[in-house]
Amino acid sequence: MVLSDLTKSILIAALPVCFTLYSLYSSYLRWLESPTRGLPYPPGPPSVTPLNASSVLPRSQPWLTYTKWAKKYGDILHLKIYGQHTIILSNYEDVVELFEQRSRQYSDRVRSTYINLMGWDFHVGLMPYGDKWRSHRKMFQQCFRPKASLAYRPIQTQKIRDLLNDLLTQPEDFFSHCRKTSTAIIFSTLYGPDLTAENIASFVQIADKAVSALNKSLIPGATVAHHIPFLQHLPSWFPGANYKRQASEVKELTEQMQDMPLSFLGKGIIGGTSSQSLISDLLENCYTQKEYDIIKHVAATSYAAGADTTASSMITFFLAMTLYPEAQRRAQQEIDELLGKGPRARLPTFEDRPHLPFVEAVYREVMRWRPVSPINDAHVTTAIDVYKGFYIPKGASVIVNNWALTRNPDKYPDPESFKPEHFMDENGNLNDDDAVLSFGYGRRNCPGRHMASATIWLTIVSVLAAFDIKKKKDETGSEMTVSPAYTDGLISHPLPFSCTITPRNESIKQLIQQPATS
């Protein structure tokens, strides 16, 4: 149907009125439902509307603004975005109380029209709390629980050995090597070794575009349609409604992301040519369409949640070692004492982890110093709650500012510096602070965290055993400046930087080229 210019003008003019009426009606319903309407919301900045959004909402890296707000308003602050309530937490004890002790009412997710429009509703981490989420989560737990993750160690060991070889031959490309390694570990675990490099590259290109669009959209206030459901009904020609066209383009990518590798693997299973893998095992015992859909969703979520985040943490390690050589030297000394030096040395294995406490502290500090998720995916309350005298309404989004938690000077003195000593006690032993905040909280924590931790740790200890990482020098012999700058988005990546990566000694080449063992 073709609308006249007059009709379009009337519709455009009516939009602010519709928005105001919707906000007033939503507020009235919440007021009627509240048995504790005499209690205050937590303090916070002014409510966000289309008129003041640009002046209130941070334009980039919102965790920095949230941290400033916490200092002004308190560790529990309230922000109303386009009529929806958002609670931002900046204290670890509050996070544990709400997400762990009260997990029953703090484990839902935002029912986002925009996420559905983009086709990301398959993502297990974004599913609303309920039976569908439980069935998907159960399969995730079966595949990636600690005992099951032990079976993937040979793959992790071999791919990280391949990383060492790549660093030996092309050290300047360490960014792409980290990404390649992270992707290879997940792909080989999920689908086996049969996918060709061309198949993988094609899939990664599609998936990365879809993941990038998702990460940008999940920042609070980034997309109006994420907060106002009725906007989904606006035609794509409507001013400001170009998000519908963009969402449609992303949905094509998410559908391909789910179907491409499973289609390839399914043909191999039918033809009897596929190798054993996690997904092939699941498919061979799949008897219903519902089970097939769950397998497809779990597989796609595993890549979306794991490849990007793991690669980011690996690159953060290289950045930290470039900027803090003393931490590198101390870790290497510990490794040498356990594994030996020169011709008698060996490369580390997973069995060495309990015997390398300072390396473990380096791993924990990598995850703290620049958390891959500076803010977490929002949880949503399923019931009204009262906490510390504040009213928290049903349906409120509750966000943890991981950045603020990792910047607590009482817990981490000099928090901006990279100091593995943050995780050591006065006797030089590891302390009990082993929580990785980017892995999430409560019933919504990352089910793949055990595998991710193992991959990042083995990368750290293997690279430290084999290479020295230093700042580059210019033509005058002076060290070049390296800035710890990061991207925006829910998943934050180090921006490109340069460093030198050189073998620690001549015998390391033979070690790297030896067959890997788990």
Residue 286 in marked binding region: no
CA distance 433 to 438: 14
pLDDT confidence band for 2 (50 / 70 / 90):
very low
410: left (phi over 0), alpha (psi -120 to 50) or beta: alpha
pLDDT attached to residue 35: 47
Cα torsion 275, 188, 125, 146: sign:
positive
Q: Beta-carbon neighbour count of residue 212 at 10 Å?
A: 16
**What rounded mean pLDDT belongs to the chain?**
88
Share of the chain above pLDDT 90, in %: 64
pLDDT digits (tens, 9 = 90+) for 386-417: 999 999 999 999 999 999 999 999 999 999 99
On the question of pLDDT at 382 being above 50, the answer is: yes
Task: Report which of residues 39 and 52 the model is more confident about.
Answer: 39
Whole-Å CA distances, 339 to 154, 259, 353, 355: 20, 44, 12, 11
Terminal-to-terminal C-alpha distance of the chain: 64
Mean pLDDT score, 182-209: 87
By the 8 A CB rule, do 195 and 261 touch?
Answer: yes
pLDDT at 498 over 70: yes
Least confident of 8-22, 35-49, 122-136, 412-426: 8-22
pLDDT of residue 225: 57
| C-alpha atoms less than 13 angstroms from C-alpha of 449 in its C-beta half-sphere | 15
Contact assessment for residue 456 and residue 363, using Cβ atoms and an 8 Å cutoff: yes
10 Å CB burial of residue 136 (0-12, 13-18, 19+) is buried
Q: Is the pLDDT of residue 338 over 60?
A: yes
Closest CA to 493 of 216, 122, 167, 168: 216
Residue 1: per-residue pLDDT = 42
Beta bridge partners of 78: 87
Question: What is the DSSP pairing of strand 385-387 with strand 390-392?
Answer: antiparallel
Closest by CA to 208, choosing from 299, 312, 307, is 307
Q: Closest by alpha carbon to 372, among 259, 449, 444?
A: 449
HSE, CB side, 13 Å, CA atoms: give it for residue 153: 16
CA 390 to the chain's CA centroid: 30
Strand 84-89 versus strand 397-400 pairing type = parallel
Quote the tokens at residue 173.
Answer: 């490309």
435-485 tens-digit pLDDT: 999 999 999 999 999 999 999 999 999 999 999 999 999 888 899 999 999
Strand duo 467-470 + 397-400: pairing: unpaired
The DSSP element (H or E) to which 225 belongs, if any, is none
Sign of CA dihedral 259, 263, 269, 275: negative
Helix (H, G, I), strand (E, B) or coil at 186: helix
Residue pLDDT, tens place only, 226-265: 555 555 556 565 555 666 788 888 899 999 999 988 887 8
